[in-house]
C-alpha cells in the first residue's frame, strides 16, 4: 500500500479527557507561525489535509488533530460537542508548548475554529475557514437532511460499507488522477472512525448557528470558497466570509476539494494562511 507524505505522529494525553492522536510538524525557523488544523465531519486530519501537508510544512509549523470519534481520535463516553472539540485542540496545542496559533478549519472544522476563537481568544492569532458555513439548518431541506443521521450510523456499521468504498473511490478518483495510487490507503483510513461518535458529531453540527456572534470575533480571517460545492452551498460560505470580514479565495471544486483539486487546495490554503499571518504580524517562512 502506497502512503502519501505524512508528518510525525504523536499521542498527547489530556488529563481528565483522554489521549489525542496528532500530526506535529515543527518548522526549522522557530519564528514561523503554528497552524492548528481542524478537519471536517466523518474525516480525519490525514484524510482532510494530506494533500496540503507538504506545502504547509515548507512555510510553517502545524498541529493536525483527529477529533473525538474520528480517525484515530479519542473514544469518549461523553456526547460529542463542538465546544469539547475546540477545547481538545486548544489543550493539545498548549501541551505541545504552543502559546498562539492560526486556527484552520475545513467543513465541520469551521464551527470548531469559530468556537476556538470565541472560547480562547488569547490563543487564536487568526482564522482560516474552508468549505463551511455560519449555520447548517436554516432551510427546511437542510433540516430534513439531518433527519437521516440514524440511517448513516447503520450504514457505517454495516458489512456493505467497505464494499461501497471499494466501488465509489475509483469513481471519485479516476484512473490517471494524481491520487490514484493512494486509493487503498484512503479506503482504510475512512473506516477508522467510530460510527456512534460520528452520528453524535452530525447532531452537534446540525444545531450550530454562529450568526449572532461570528461577526464579533476580532481576529484576522480568510476563507476558501468551493464554488461547485453541493454540500455547503457557496452562498452560505460567502455569508460566513462576509460576517468575518475574511479575505476570500475560490476554487472551482465540490466539497471534496482536497482530493478533487489537490494542488489548488494546497496552494490556496497556504496563500490564505499567509494572508492571515501577515495581518497578524506572523509572516510565514520563505518556501524551501
pLDDT digit string (tens) for 49-59? 999 999 999 99
CA atoms 192, 195, 200, 204: torsion sign: positive
Dump pLDDT digits (tens) for 63-122: 999 999 999 999 998 999 999 999 999 999 999 999 999 999 999 999 999 999 999 999
pLDDT given for residue 145 in this prediction: 78
Asked, for residue 284, whether it belongs to a domain, the answer is no
- Closest by alpha carbon to 132, among 48, 241, 206? 241
All 3 cell numbers of residue 65? 488533530
pLDDT value at position 37? 98
Mean pLDDT of the chain: 93
Q: Which one, of 145, 135, 130, 68, lies nearest residue 271 by Cα?
A: 130
Q: Flag whether 173 is in a domain.
A: yes
Host domain of residue 228: 9-279
Domain count, the chain: 1
CATH of the domain at 241: 3.40.50.1820
pLDDT digits (tens, 9 = 90+) for 132-153: 999 988 887 788 777 777 666 6
pLDDT, one tens digit per residue, over 8-49 is 999 999 999 999 999 999 999 999 999 999 999 999 999 999
266 pLDDT tier (thresholds 50, 70, 90): very high
**Residue 102 pairs with which residues in a beta bridge?**
35, 126
Residue 197 has pLDDT above 80, yes or no: yes
* The overall pTM is greater than 0.85: yes
Strands across the sheet containing 101-106: 9-14, 18-25, 61-65, 34-38, 101-106, 124-130, 221-226, 247-251
Amino acid at each position: 500500500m502506497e502512503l502519501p507524505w505524512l508528518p510525525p505522529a504523536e499521542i498527547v494525553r489530556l488529563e481528565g479527557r483522554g489521549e489525542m492522536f496528532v500530526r506535529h510538524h515543527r518548522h526549522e525557523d522557530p519564528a514561523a507561525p503554528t497552524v492548528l488544523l481542524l478537519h471536517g465531519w466523518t474525516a480525519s486530519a490525514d484524510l482532510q489535509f494530506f494533500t496540503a501537508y507538504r506545502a504547509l510544512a515548507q512555510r510553517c509549523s502545524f498541529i493536525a488533530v483527529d477529533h473525538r470519534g474520528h480517525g484515530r481520535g479519542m473514544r469518549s463516553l461523553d456526547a460529542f460537542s463542538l465546544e469539547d472539540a475546540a477545547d481538545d485542540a486548544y489543550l493539545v496545542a498548549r501541551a505541545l508548548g504552543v502559546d498562539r496559533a492560526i486556527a484552520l478549519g475545513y467543513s465541520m472544522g469551521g464551527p470548531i475554529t469559530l468556537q476556538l476563537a470565541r472560547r480562547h481568544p488569547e490563543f487564536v492569532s487568526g482564522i482560516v475557514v474552508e468549505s463551511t458555513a455560519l449555520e447548517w439548518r436554516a432551510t427546511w431541506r437542510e433540516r430534513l437532511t439531518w433527519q437521516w443521521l440514524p440511517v448513516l450510523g447503520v450504514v457505517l456499521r454495516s458489512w456493505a460499507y467497505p464494499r461501497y468504498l471499494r466501488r465509489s473511490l475509483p469513481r471519485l478518483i479516476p484512473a490517471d488522477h494524481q491520487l490514484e495510487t493512494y486509493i487503498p490507503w484512503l479506503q482504510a483510513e475512512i473506516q477508522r472512525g467510530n460510527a456512534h461518535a460520528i452520528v453524535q458529531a452530525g447532531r452537534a453540527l446540525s444545531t450550530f448557528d454562529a450568526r449572532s456572534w461570528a461577526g464579533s470575533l476580532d481576529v484576522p480571517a480568510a476563507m476558501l470558497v468551493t464554488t461547485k460545492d453541493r454540500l455547503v452551498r457557496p452562498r452560505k460560505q460567502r455569508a460566513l466570509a462576509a460576517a468575518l470580514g475574511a479575505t476570500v479565495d475560490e476554487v472551482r471544486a465540490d466539497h471534496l476539494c482536497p482530493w478533487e483539486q489537490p494542488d489548488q487546495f494546497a496552494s490556496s490554503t497556504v496563500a490564505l494562511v499567509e494572508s492571515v499571518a501577515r495581518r497578524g504580524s506572523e509572516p510565514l517562512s520563505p518556501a524551501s
